[in-house]
Every structure is written in C-alpha cells, then in structure tokens.
Amino acid sequence: MTEPIDAWPGSAVAEAAGSRPTGDALEDAAVSDRLEEAARPGVMAMPPRPTGQGLRAWGRWAWRTLTSMRTAVLLLLALALAAVPGSLLPQRGVAFDPGAVTRFVADNPVVGPWLDRLGFFEVYSSPWFAAIYLLLMVSMTGCVLPRAARLWRSTRAEPPRAPTNLARLDGHRRTTVAAERAQVLQAAASHLRARRFRVVVDDDSVRAEKGYVREAGNLVFHLSLLVLLFGVAIGSLFGFEGRVIVVEGASFTNTRLQYDEFTPGPLTDAETLSPFSVTLDDFTARFETAGPQRGSAREFQADLTVLRTPGGDAQKVTVEVNHPLQVEGTKMFLTGHGYAPVVSVTDGRGQTVFSGPVVFVPFDGNLSSEGVIKVPDGQPTQLGFEGFFLPTASVNPEAGPRSLYPDLVDPQLLLTAYTGDLGLGDGAPQSVFRLDKTDLSQVMDGGEPFARALRPGESMTLPDGQGTLTFESVSRFANFQIAYDPGKELSLVAAVALLLGLTASLAVRRRRVWVRVTAASAGGPVTVEAASYALTRREPVPGELSSLLAALPGAEPAGNGAAPHDRED
C-alpha cells in the first residue's frame, strides 16, 4: 500500500500539519492549501509512466512529459547548446568572410564534410535547430497555459471558510467584547476592507484574504514568458540582419546583393525589403588629442542623403552611435568606421586598370588597418597588393608597422605586390580583404620582396615594367548594421510585463485572516477569535491582529485578554 502523503517524513504536509490528526488537518483551510500543493506533482517532477498499454495512455504520458517544466528547462538548455556551433564555426550567409566555410572544409577534409552534412555551417536554419525551438514552444505553451488558468481562478476565488480550530494557527488571538455579534462582524469586515482585504461575512465569522496581486503577478509572469518566446520567434523567422560598408561619396540600396553580410530569417522574403537608399556624403570623427585618454573617440557622425522610396524626395539625415536611421521598421545603425585609401593602378601597358577607394580593415584602437588591392584587368598579368594603412605612421623594426593615433596626422600606405592569377575566375567565393596566393608570385626587387611606403600623392613603380600604383588621397568609410525585427515591440512589451509580474509575485504577501464571533448568552458579551495565515511562507504582518481587535466595538484594552493564545505543539 502507498503511504498517505501526510505520512512522508519531512514532507510539506507533515511540516504544515505537525502532529495534528488527519481529520482536523483536512478541515483546516490553511493546511488544505499546503495539502493541495504537496499533492500536486512537483514543479520539476516528471509524470509517472502509464499503467495501461494502449496508445491513448502512452499519448497522454508523452504529452505530460513534453509539457512538464523539467522538459521545458531541458529543451531550453538544449537550444543554448545547439547555438554554440553557430558561434564557433563559420556560417554560410552569416560570416563576414564569404569564403570561410569553403576554406574550413578544405583545411579539414575529414571533419568538414561531415559537419556540412549535419548542418553545422547553417545552424540557425537547420532542421534540428528548428525542431528544438518548436518543441520548446510547444512545451512552454502546454506548461504555461494550464498553470495560467489555475492562477486566474485563484485570483477570482473567495477566501476559504474559517477552519474548525483557529487555535491551531499561528498568531491566534482571543478576546471578549461587550457588543452585539452583528456589530462585531460588521466592524471587523469594515476594518479589513479598509486595508484592501477581500472580505466575505458569514453568520458567525468573517473571512478575508489579501495579496491577490501576487497571483495576478504570477499570471502575468507566465503569460509574458510565453508571449516573449513568440515575439522572439516572429523576429527570428521574419526578420533579418545585415552589415554594409559605405565609403564617402558612395551609395547603398537596400537590396540583398548590396549587403556585405546578410542573415535572413527562414521565412524572410529578400525581395520585399524596404526600397530605401542612402548616400554617405561625409563622415566626421573626432578624437581626444591629449591626456591619458588620448586617441579615445569623442564623436562619430555620418551625414546621409536618404531616399525612402524610389523617386521620392531626398532627405538629409545625420546618423550617430545609438541614433539610427529608421525606415518602415528597418533600422540602420552606425557601428564602426575606418579609412579607404584612394589609389590608381596602371598595368604593364601603361593603361589605368583600377582607380578608386579601397577599404582597409582596422585591427587596433589607433586604426592601424590592413587590406588588399585586387587588379584583375591588369595585362600581361593580373596584379595584387597587400599591406597596411597607418593614419599616424610608425614603423618599428621590432614591433612592426603601427599607427600612433587614429586621426590623419602622417598617413602612410605600406604595400607589397604580387603577380599571377588572383583566382577570381573559378567561381569560388573570396574575401575582398584577403589575397588567394595559390597562383600568385610575390614581386621581387634585387632578391628581396618588393615593398614600399607611400604618402598621399606618391607613386611606386613595379620592377620590370609590370605597372605602377599611385596613392591619391584618403577617404573614410562607415560600417552600418541594418536590422529588421517585426517581433521586437511584442518582445519588449512582454519583457517589461514579465519583470513587473515577477516583482509583484515576489514582493506581495498573500495572507488570510479569519474572525469568529461566539455569543455565550443572548445580550451578553461575545467571544472573538482571530487568526491569520501567510500563504507565502512569511511571518504574518506584526500587529495586524492587534489592530483588528482594537477596532472592534467594546474591545478591552490591550493586555486584558487580548494576548496571543499559546499554541499547543
């Protein structure tokens, strides 16, 4: 035989009921709450296996298992673990370097193809990641909604009837007053209503409860958690995020092909992006010039000309850090900047085969930058250049080339040259910031690698008449992050409601008060018993019962029969 719940040593029921008889405990409304809570499966408990062998029994067991809190927590942990490969491994369509996945597979010929088959290079759009998220949504929905229904019923419930034996409760008090029973009941009810208790008056007692806001907070918390998950899901499915580098004087149109990096949601339609375009007219950056914070950024500002619709009126807009451009729910954030040296290249025939700005990527706080220049139209051979751009140059034989300050004080372009096949014709994706040197040969000068340092206006001539490169000037570029998240407003509202609900559920005390009035004889004094019970495992509010008894008509002064009744243990 299975032992009764209240017989388990150390159980919540045994703790609540102490050594009381089971019958009294079941009649005691306060203890009944704990009996019901203890009899209910634990928050993290798994449902027992089905006793029957039918499909319905196993189906119910599977549903209860899926919608248990433990399963929801395990799925949440599984989702976090499943996202780890997306941070550690290169991702198709996500990485800043579009050739990263190809190179990783080539460098890891054994592991790479298997990772590709399993979807580890497309984690966030893989079927197994979507399955985990879908199971989490179902689990949370099945877990939260029934609990929300119970909480809703709890917020609307009346206070329970007074227990048979009030003396068994903590804080029990008894006194005698010279007043009519009806007057005492009415006075007690008025006193409790004034303190915002929910009050019900019976023939010989008053029952009151306060702290329903706690259950309402619990209800809001659980529903907000579910809404938050749906908001995140909507943003992940229908939103997108991208990055683009725009050089001064250049333009960007919000189409898929113009992004340097584009991460769409599984249900995002890239053909329906907001058709706006921007031109970077000017980029301004100011830095601290002296003191311990020398070189620290003081101002970043991008002046844009914006066309919100094709053929629409042009608008002048200034974008700063944390002050994005917003067009129909799409936000364009300023996230970085750097320099783009303007160069012109002639080939061995003397023809100008390249002219324009080239983005060099910063790698330290003083905007020391590295980059490459690819000249696929060079004749008789293609040309490639690799090197550094230093806004305030310092070349140390030990430390190497570095910039001492992020602004243009002494800009220099340090380059070495390559000739051969750049590998642009084989169809394989390449990074614009790296040279594929597989079929390239470094240009030599007297047995040493050819290298030059140029200031604006200076040129270098390659040996054997292979071409020239001129450092014309320096432009700036701005790095923008463009994001569209249709679920962000819903997620924000849900997150705020979740915090408010959690605060209410933790801060508000839910407690009950009972007052029982017994008349020994008609027209004589009446005996008043009062007791309180805290449902949140906190001590009752000090002085609450004393003030209640003092408010009764004909109450005796404190100390004459109004002392707490000694509880029998």
What is the spatial distance between Cα 226 and Cα 221, in angstroms, rounded to a whole number? Answer: 9
What is the spatial distance between Cα 472 and Cα 344, in angstroms, rounded to a whole number? Answer: 7
- For residue 551, what are the contacts with CB-CB under 8 A and spacing of at least 6? 187, 188, 191
H or E, element range at 188: helix 181-194
pLDDT band at 495 (very low <50, low <70, confident <90, very high): very high
Report whether 307 contacts 254 (CB < 8 A): no
The string of pLDDT tens digits covering residues 523-537 is 678 899 999 888 876
Q: Is the pTM of this model over 0.75?
A: no
The closest of 538, 493, 546 to 214, measured between CA atoms, is 538
Angle at 366 between CA 339 and CA 402, to 5 degrees: 95
The string of pLDDT tens digits covering residues 445-462 is 888 899 999 999 999 999
pLDDT band at 30 (very low <50, low <70, confident <90, very high): very low
Asked if residue 247 has pLDDT above 90, the reply is yes
CB atoms within 10 A of CB 106: 11
More confident residue, 1 or 69: 69
More confident residue, 44 or 100: 100
Mean pLDDT of the chain: 82
Crossing angle of helices 127-156 and 55-66, in 10° steps, is 90
User: Hey, which of 69-83, 98-112, 339-353 has the most confident mean pLDDT?
Assistant: 339-353
Q: Mean pLDDT throughout 335-342?
A: 92
- Structural domains for the chain: 41-155 (no CATH), 164-211+511-550 (3.30.310.80), 237-336+482-500 (no CATH), 340-475 (no CATH)
Strand partners, 300: 285
The string of pLDDT tens digits covering residues 145-196 is 888 888 788 888 889 888 888 888 877 888 888 888 899 999 999 999 999 9
Crossing angle of helices 127-156 and 69-88, in 10° steps, is 140
Q: By three-state DSSP, how is residue 312 classified?
A: coil
What is the spatial distance between Cα 77 and Cα 44, in angstroms, rounded to a whole number? Answer: 14
pLDDT given for residue 13 in this prediction = 34
Asked if residue 39 has pLDDT above 80, the reply is no
The closest of 219, 190, 263 to 515, measured between CA atoms, is 190
What is the spatial distance between Cα 69 and Cα 43, in angstroms, rounded to a whole number? Answer: 6
pLDDT given for residue 563 in this prediction = 42
Going 397 to 400 to 406 to 411, the CA torsion angle's sign is: positive
Q: Mean pLDDT throughout 45-70?
A: 76
Asked if residue 215 has pLDDT above 50, the reply is yes
pLDDT given for residue 516 in this prediction = 93
| Percentage of the chain modeled with pLDDT above 90 | 34
Q: Mean pLDDT throughout 254-269?
A: 86
